[in-house]
Chain A
Amino acid sequence: MADVETKEAVYVTDQLIADDIDAYLVQHEHKTMLRFITCGSVDDGKSTLIGRLLYDSKMIFEDQLDALQSDSKKVGTQGQEIDFALLVDGLAAEREQGITIDVAYRFFNTEKRKFIVADCPGHEQYTRNMVTGASTADLAVILIDARKGVLVQTRRHSYLCHLIGIKNIVLAVNKMDLVGYSQEVFDKILADYTEFATSIGIESFTALPISGFKGDNITTLSDKTPWYKAPQYAGITLVEHLETVEVLSSVDADKPFRLPVQWVNRPNLDFRGFSGLIATGSVKAGDKIRVLPSGKTSEITRVVTYDGDLDEAVAGQSVTVCFADEIDCSRGSVISIADNPPQTADQFEATFVWMADEAMVPGRAYWLKIGTQMVSATVQEPKYEVNVNTMEKLAAKTLELNAIGVAELTTDKQIVFEAYADNRTLGGFILIDKMTNATVAAGMIHFSLRRSQNVHWQAVDIDRKQHAGLKNQRPAVLWFTGLSGSGKSTIANLVEKKLHRMNRHTFLLDGDNVRHGLNKDLGFTEADRIENIRRVGEVSKLMTDAGLIVITAFISPFQADREMVRTMLPEGEFFEVFIDTPLKVAEARDVKGLYKKARSGELKNFTGIDSPYEAPRNPEIRIDTTAISPEEAANLIVDTLLGDA
């Protein structure tokens, strides 16, 4: 091993463990915890640095060391020396490639703290992994190869850490041994980085000259860099710095009290508690609180835990609280200090980090999870995308995997939120694809858009119930979906005629007709198709408010879009009518000659040919047109609608 002097700190701990285990346990019990990430490129020595930290804090056992020594000879890149990087590179595939491809978490202790290190890859295509690792970090170590200076990836990593709100940034100028421990080299890098950091709004950072490989300035100050003790430098070792910076949860403890409710605890009629992790602030019995979004107020009577009631609990603790009054509060509610509550809104500007192979689809409905709230949300076309290498703002129509951009966001109901800069829990969210259930994006709320606070619903005296009552019917939407030529329009027409004969008030919205007026500004791109469906959904909703039975006939090929319309309407009023005609049959009919055009390439994005049709999974009504006639189909639909009504 290259280094002996760094063992001293470890030795003291060993001695204490051996001499007085109880004293050691008391010391260990009271350690705080710091979570940090390391960012750097493949060659910056990141894995080597982490391996070194583990080794110096004695987190490597003899059997691991044996394996490491034999591995080092086999695949190591350090000749006969131990390759610390092999300790931290995990999955089989990447071990062969010699790069880390995901976030890996490592653990070590010093005498003062426990550390969790998120080891993040440096390649551009792994932006999503870095953002993931950074989201739980108190601090970021940005590694720079002293021979190379500030590179494009240094800027990218710094930008991402800053974006995710990491306040403690450490600039670790590594491989100082390879530049002769030169003060000039260090000064030059420091000056370059300061200029860049200031330009993107990083207020402060701590720069250290180190060698992960040799161990300089990691646990003890190196005699190779005597100049580092001068007052213009931090003058401390990496470990000492990590041991003393303030952790995030203590910063959060000074903010106003917020507790997102995870679960209502109701074991019997005498106990009703609300469980959750305190996001910010502190709480004690007697505190006046407000529950959002309802705005109802009460008072805290108890802060309950398994180990007994607490006098006070702070940010970062999982507790259960009880109220003096029986007010409405459930999963998704946020309990706040009464006189300083967060806002609610349904339209926001936010930064998005796109994390899925499938690009963002503006207008499509996604699930949005923020704290313990889950709502349906749509994203507008981005205002701009940020080039993560140059920080330039670029025009964009969508966001692809690993792209970062700013866009407006609309939720289907009001959510309790705060700006991400003030509160990570109430300002940070994920988007979930409704079909695949994949987490497709992370987002950070900047602010709510003013119009969501100013546009109020006009209360009307004659409401939808009265409209429907006068017509003596229950409003509904019969949403026909199916391939072009499946028979939607034919059957929809028959259904309307039958209902009309039965004195029902109806209105048929036909795809082609709507495109001649309301939606004539829309084309056939994916985004336009979604907007087409959204508008039809909104119009249908207004018509049901007027008491009508609405019949729509649109291909509407995407499950997510049909679900979007379903969520616009009261439960039980949306009937998905799947006109199930096999592609072969529809194409053989080809009433409008469209399939022929699509096959010849004359018509692009044609459903069933070069654009997918997502069949409904659980439609209210399914019509097999190969088995029954249009007349029979219409009867079936009318019976189902009225039987249900």
Chain B
Amino acid sequence: MSSLRFRKSKSLKPRQQARAPAEEDLMKTLTHLERLEAESIHIIREVVAEAEKPVMLYSVGKDSAVMLHLARKAFYPSPPPFPLLHVDTTWKFKAMYALRDKMARESGMELLVYQNPEAIEKGINPFDHGALHTDMWKTEGLKQALDKYGFDAAFGGARRDEEKSRAKERIFSFRTSSHGWDPKNQRPELWNLYNARKARGESIRVFPISNWTELDIWQYIHLNDIPIVPLYFAEKRPTVERDGMLLMVDDERFPLQPGEVPVERSIRFRTLGCYPLTGAVESEAKTLPEVIQETLLTTTSERQGRAIDKDAGGAGMEVKKQQGYF
């Protein structure tokens, strides 16, 4: 993308107002996306230089898409020197599995898919097991996968603007050998110096896109033509309305309740998780600029579509993280 390269004397489109950035020296003042990109690449390279066995958690969502793209930029012309790990719940949208396999092929990276064997055996699913579903497939599944392969550093695509407890998490977040997180015992992070040292058994979760906002993510995807799951764009899809959430009937495993008939609605998703837990919004936004437009003019926050934040009152995510959720 030429717009993200260093600009020599490119003329810019007219701005809304004449003051401020136009007066800044464009030879040396980087745009916010250029600064964010450089910071993320720096973080990813530090981990590779200092960790023994890093891995990138890949959830196939838009944040993962950006994180993967940044990793490819960080090591170009080499492929990123670590595998992708998908902690699979078996309940992701079909379109997510398709994109996951395509991106792994394109990036030249190894793709590891892990499914918690205990959850498979017990047939844990979001319809019958509620919170247990997230706990077994995601929280437990992630711990098991990290232990199985012995990864000592895992990249995650969480952002500080998503949720209150994340606003305070470090970029390098330490976990005990049992994957616990202690919000009171975090290492201070000064300048861009990251301390990646740890004892055997301990691991770090690293969040290279901590400082990106939802809008930054969308704009970066737009400018870099990064492939994302088509579910982010509006299309007519079979849906049912349940507990105030608009759910998409993605496959035959979706148990319809008595009287429920799937209705075709033009919908899209703002976040993607397991399909029975992720609410859609009615939308006509079929292109990225339209999606961004809707996002900016909307009046509800992104994570509202996710059931996970609603557990345990306002501190839901914080409690989950202490238990080892990413």
- A-side interface residues toward B, CB under 8 Å? 12, 14, 16-18, 21-33, 61-64, 67, 71, 90-93, 95, 102-107, 109, 111-114, 116, 128-129, 131-132, 135-136, 243-244, 246-247, 249-250, 253-254, 262-263, 265-267, 271, 273, 275-277, 282, 304-308, 310-318, 320, 331, 355, 367, 369-372, 424-425, 428-430, 432, 437-439, 442
Contact = CB atoms under 8 A, between A and B. Distances in A.
B6 A90 contact: no
Contact of B192 (A16, A136, A312): A136
Interface stretch (B18-26, B84-92, B94-102): B18-26
A47 B298 CA distance: 25
A46 to B, nearest CB: 15
B254 to A, nearest CB: 26
A359 B207 CA distance: 30
Contact of B304 (A63, A91, A304): A63
A437 B35 contact: no
A442 B193 CA distance: 10
Given A21-B290, A305-B5, A424 B191 contact: yes
A111 to B, nearest CB: 6
A312 B73 contact: no
Contact of B28 (A107, A253, A430): A253
A318 B32 contact: no
Interface string B163-187: 0110110000000000000011011
Interface of B: 1-6, 8, 12-13, 15-17, 19-21, 23-25, 27-39, 41-42, 45-46, 48-49, 72-79, 160-161, 164-165, 167-168, 183-184, 186-193, 195, 197-199, 210-211, 213, 215-216, 219, 222-223, 289-290, 292-293, 296-301, 304, 314-315, 318-319
A367 B193 CA distance: 13
Contacts of A61: 298-301, 304
B297 A17 contact: yes
B77 A304 contact: yes
A265 B77 contact: yes
B78 A132 contact: no
B313 to A, nearest CB: 9
B35 A310 contact: no
A95 B315 CA distance: 10
Nearest to A134: B190
A343 B192 CA distance: 21
19 contacts: A21-B290, A21-B292, A31-B21, A62-B300, A91-B318, A93-B184, A243-B20, A244-B20, A267-B79, A271-B77, A277-B39, A277-B42, A305-B73, A318-B39, A424-B191, A437-B195, A437-B198, A439-B190, A442-B190
Contacts of A306: 72-73, 76
Nearest to B72: A306
Residue among B13, B41, B297 facing the most chain A CB atoms (10 A cut-off): B41
A250 B3 contact: no
Residue among B2, B29, B33, B298 facing the most chain A CB atoms (10 A cut-off): B29
Contacts of B5: 305, 307-308, 310
* Chain A contact surface mostly: mixed
Contacts of A305: 5, 73, 76
Residue among B35, B193, B297, B299 facing the most chain A CB atoms (10 A cut-off): B193
Nearest to B304: A63
Nearest to A314: B28
Contacts, number: 246
B4 A307 contact: yes
B311 to A, nearest CB: 14
A90 B167 contact: yes
Contact of A32 (B12, B29, B49): B29
A21 B46 contact: no
A424 B190 CA distance: 11
A467 B175 CA distance: 50
A29 B223 contact: yes
Nearest to A265: B78
Contacts of B32: 31-33, 113-114
B30 A135 contact: no
A439 B183 CA distance: 15
Given A92-B314, A369-B195, 10 more contacts: A31-B21, A62-B300, A105-B210, A107-B161, A132-B190, A277-B42, A314-B28, A425-B192, A437-B198, A442-B190
Contacts of B34: 316-317
Contacts of B76: 304-306, 320
B167 A355 contact: no
B197 A437 contact: yes
Given A29-B223, A90-B167, A439 B49 contact: no
Contacts of B79: 267
Given A14-B297, A109-B215, A424-B191, A317 B49 contact: no
Contacts of A266: 78
Contacts of A273: 77
Contact of A439 (B167, B195, B304): B195
Contacts of B17: 111-112
Contacts of B290: 21
Nearest to A58: B296
Nearest to B20: A112
Contact of A244 (B12, B19, B72, B293): B19
Contacts of B222: 25
B168 A369 contact: no
B6 A312 contact: yes
B190 A135 contact: yes
A428 B192 CA distance: 10
B30 A32 contact: yes
Contacts of B293: 17-18, 21, 24
B289 A25 contact: yes
B1 A307 contact: yes
A446 B73 CA distance: 36
Contacts of A250: 24-25, 28-29
A369 B192 CA distance: 11
B45 A262 contact: yes
B173 to A, nearest CB: 13
A159 to B, nearest CB: 17
Given A29-B3, A307-B4, A67 B314 contact: yes
Nearest to B222: A25
Contact of B49 (A23, A33, A372): A372
Contact of B195 (A24, A114, A129, A430): A430
B201 to A, nearest CB: 12
A12 B15 CA distance: 13
B258 to A, nearest CB: 31
A331 B25 CA distance: 32
A358 to B, nearest CB: 13
Nearest to B50: A374
A429 B45 contact: no
Given A112-B20, A113-B21, A437-B198, A263 B297 contact: no
Contacts of A114: 32, 213, 216
Contacts of A25: 219, 222, 289, 292
A331 B49 CA distance: 8
Nearest to B202: A437
B190 A428 contact: yes
B199 A437 contact: yes
A106 B8 contact: no
A428 B193 contact: yes
A314 B21 contact: no
A358 B34 CA distance: 39
